[in-house]
């Protein structure tokens, strides 16, 4: 029988483990919360991006979300079939199509906002308002340091776990 190495730090004291543990927990909760609305985090992320800046080309969306262009085509096709977006000729580039939100997307996003607020409140419930602000600031600083795009979940590009 081998002896346990006492130099191992418990995972509960490893920041990367804790962030990963919480990330998966929150991701699965979010996926479950969106399911009754008929979308997943990938669709939600794209709709939120278009809500912030409607009329982007598929290439622009692909670059921002870091999703391969072939996967982007499928995502736009899916959202178009659901009546949430439409392709229109891009006003400045005849070869490109601009993706625009339809009224149904705005209605759907309005339904998601309370879910997002509830999840934030639940996650941060043990913290006081000052701690919440500090945590957000520190997490943003770490995310920027890791080279992550603000507001874009890296799991969208990889199609991993609960982010699909």
8 in any annotated domain: no
1 in any annotated domain: no
74 is in which domain, residue-wise? 17-29+40-146+155-163
Whole-angstrom Cα distance, residue 121 to residue 133? Answer: 13
DSSP 79-108: HHHTTSEEEEE-SS-TT-EEEEE-HHHHHH
Number of domains composing the chain: 1
- Which tens digit of pLDDT belongs to each residue from 37-76? 999 998 999 999 999 999 999 889 988 888 888 888 999 9
Structure tokens at 33: 């919360």
9 in any annotated domain: no
Whole-angstrom Cα distance, residue 147 to residue 142? Answer: 9
- Which tens digit of pLDDT belongs to each residue from 101-120? 999 999 999 999 999 999 99
Whole-angstrom Cα distance, residue 67 to residue 108? Answer: 22
CATH number of the domain where residue 105 is located: 1.10.10.10
- The pTM of this model reads 0.82
116 in any annotated domain: yes
3 in any annotated domain: no
């Amino acid at each position: 029988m081998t002896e346990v190495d006492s130099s191992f730090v418990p995972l509960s004291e490893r920041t990367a483990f804790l962030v990963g543990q919480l990330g998966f927990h929150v991701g699965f909760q979010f996926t479950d919360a969106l399911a009754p609305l008929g979308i997943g985090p990938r669709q939600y992320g794209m709709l939120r991006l278009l809500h912030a800046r409607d009329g982007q080309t598929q290439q622009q969306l692909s670059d921002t979300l870091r999703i391969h262009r072939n996967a982007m085509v499928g995502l736009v096709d899916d959202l178009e079939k659901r009546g949430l977006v439409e392709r229109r000729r891009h006003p400045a580039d005849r070869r490109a199509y601009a993706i625009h939100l339809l009224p149904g997307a705005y209605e759907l996003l309005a339904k998601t906002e309370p879910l997002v607020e509830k999840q934030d409140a639940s996650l941060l419930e043990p913290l006081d308002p000052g701690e919440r602000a500090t945590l957000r600031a520190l997490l943003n600083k770490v995310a920027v340091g890791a080279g992550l795009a603000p507001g874009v979940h890296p799991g969208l590009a990889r199609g991993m776990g609960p982010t699909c």
